[in-house]
Amino acid sequence: YQRRVHGVLKPQDPWQAQYNHLINDLKAHLGDQKLTSIINVAGGWAGGNVQSDDLFENCELMFKQSVMSSILTAKVAAAVGAPGCLVVLPGAVAAKGATPEMLAYGMAKAAVHQLTASLAHKEAGLPNDAHVLSVLPITLDTPNNRAAMPDADRSSWTPLSYVVNLMADWVENKNLPPSGSLVSLATKDGKTTASWN
């Protein structure tokens, strides 16, 4: 038996209000049941170095899209996750190193990486035996990316179908990397591989 539950939040609301709205809806929907998987697929990108006029705006946007959505995911897992639940957060390969021309993006994704490592420890407050992973793509083959980069060579872009199949395996406890892993996705000549730290 599987039940899929998803939530849509209002970005203009304060984060505590968003969490309260989401958790109340989930509890009403789930009753006494618990979630076995909580997967965050929030996305977004912003470029710019320290001289960019929109740096502060981009930092706020990237923080909301990646960091705060990941904290909400963790809070939901703590509140309604089953023992051994899977928690997946959105990282990025680029944020494993310096990102001088996309500061806001790099900082936000690096924070998600740190959160992933921290949540894998039992002291973090997740349900017993929770399994926390972060997926780190380079470039995903999405409609937005195709529109933004129409002339790019897409043979190195990771298909969404690969990501979906990977997570479907994880939901079934297949091929799970160790909890706390940053799972990097690399695509070359149309073939994608996953590796972790």
Residue 162 known to be catalytic = no
Cβ atoms 133, 87 nearer than 8 A: yes
| 59 vs 10: CA distance, rounded Å | 19
Cβ atoms 100, 117 nearer than 8 A: no
How far is the CA of 67 from the CAs of 29, 60, 120, 164, 191, in angstroms? Answer: 26, 10, 16, 22, 29
Phi, psi for residue 87 in degrees, rounded to 5: -125, 125
Catalytic residue among 1, 19, 105, 162: 105
What residues are labeled active site?
105
